[in-house]
Each structure stands twice: as structure tokens, then as C-alpha cells.
Amino acid sequence: MMEEETSMRPCQKNDPVYAPAHYAGDGKIECKSAIGSMMAGYDLAAVCSSVAYWCGCAFKYLWRWPLKNKSEDLMKARECIDIALSLVRE
């Protein structure tokens, strides 16, 4: 979702759909904004869209792991990274 779209939407802190607490970060940079910035760099590097997708998923799980599913999210991040690596090695 584009940043300007989310800024137009009225939402409260810990809104389970638009601003879940496990993605809030320090309150200055949310996960959505950080992933958006990261993906812009992937565009500049001409990274394959499927590799970028899996890296973005891994980032999401790494961001939220201590606040949501603990070690399960770390394992999900590792799986996403493994998939991205398999695509890069092809």
C-alpha cells in the first residue's frame, strides 16, 4: 500500500488492520515505510520481483518476531531467505 494512501486513512494506534502494534516499531518508522524504502533500493539494483518479494516477507517477520510469534516468526524469516537464495542461485 502506498504511503500516501495510508496517511489519508484515519487510524488509531494499534489498529489491528492498518496499524498493528507488532509493526509499529519505535513509533517513528513503521514496518511498511521501512519495507518501502528497502524495496526502492531493490528496484535500483534490478532485483527480480520474486526475490524482492521473499526478502520483503523475511524483513516483515524479522521486524515483528519479538512482539508476535517469537521463534516461529524467526523460522518463517529463515524460510523466506532460503527461498530467495534458491531463486538467486538459479
Q: pLDDT for 46-73, tens place per residue? A: 999 999 999 999 999 999 999 999 999 9
Residue 54 contacts residue 84 (beta carbons within 8 Å): yes
Which has more pLDDT, 65 or 4? 65
* 3-state class (DSSP) for residue 37: helix
What are the residue ranges of helices labelled H in the chain?
A: 3-8, 31-44, 49-64, 71-89
DSSP state for residue 16 in the 8-state scheme: T
For the chain, the average pLDDT equals: 86
Is residue 81's pLDDT more than 80?
A: yes
Tell me which long-range contacts 34-42 makes (C-beta under 8 A, separation of at least 24): 34/59, 34/63, 35/59, 35/60, 36/3
Instruction: Give the distance from CA 33 to its chain's centroid.
Output: 9
Prediction pTM value: 0.77
